[in-house]
Structure 1
Amino acid sequence: MKRKKLIIIIVAVAALAAACIAVFVLKEMKGSKNSSANVVAWDVDIEENELPETDEILIPGYDSMTMAANTKKQAVSMGNPADNNCYFVIILRLEDGTKLYESEYLKPGEGLNEITMEQELESGEYQAIIEYKCYSLEDKSSLNGGSAQFNLIVK
Structure 2
Amino acid sequence: MKSNLLIMAAVALFTAIVLLGGIIVGAMVLNKNDNTNNTPGNSQAVSLDAAPPAAPETISIPGYAQLVMKAGELMQDVELYNPAGNPCYFIISIILPDGTEVYKSGPINAGQKTDVIKLSQPLEAGTYKDAVLKYSTFSSTNDEPMNGANTKFTLEVVE
- Alignment counterpart, residue 137 of structure 1, candidates 134, 137, 140: 140
Structure 1 Cα separation of the partners of residues 81 and 150 of structure 2: 13
C-alpha deviation, 1:96, in angstroms: 1.2
Secondary structure in 1 matching 2:60 = coil
Structure 1 Cα separation of the partners of residues 138 and 111 of structure 2: 15
C-alpha deviation, 1:54, in angstroms: 4.5
The runs of at least 4 aligned residues of structure 1 exceeding 3 Å deviation read none
C-alpha deviation, 1:143, in angstroms: 0.2
C-alpha deviation, 1:95, in angstroms: 1.3
For residues 73-96 of structure 1, give each alpha carbon's deviation from its aligned partner in whole angstroms, at most 9, with x where no partner exists.
000010100121101100100011
Is there any run of 5+ residues in structure 1 with no aligned partner, and where? Answer: 1-52
The reply to whether residue 154 of structure 1 matches residue 157 of structure 2 is yes
- Alignment counterpart, residue 96 of structure 2, candidates 94, 97, 100: 94
State the one-letter code of the partner of 2:145: S
State the one-letter code of the partner of 1:95: P
State the one-letter code of the partner of 1:124: G
State the one-letter code of the partner of 2:103: Y
The reply to whether residue 60 of structure 1 matches residue 62 of structure 2 is yes
C-alpha deviation, 1:153, in angstroms: 0.2
Structure 1 Cα separation of the partners of residues 157 and 119 of structure 2: 13
Is there any run of 5+ residues in structure 2 with no aligned partner, and where? Answer: 1-54
Structure with greater Cα Rg: 2
Equivalence for 2:105: 103
Count of residues paired in the alignment: 103
Structure 2 Cα separation of the partners of residues 90 and 119 of structure 1: 16
TM (norm. structure 2) is 0.63
RMSD: 1.0
Structure 2 Cα separation of the partners of residues 105 and 152 of structure 1: 22
The structure with the largest strand share of the pair is: 1
RCO (CA 8 Å, sep 6+): is it higher in 1 or 2? 1
TM (norm. structure 1) is 0.64
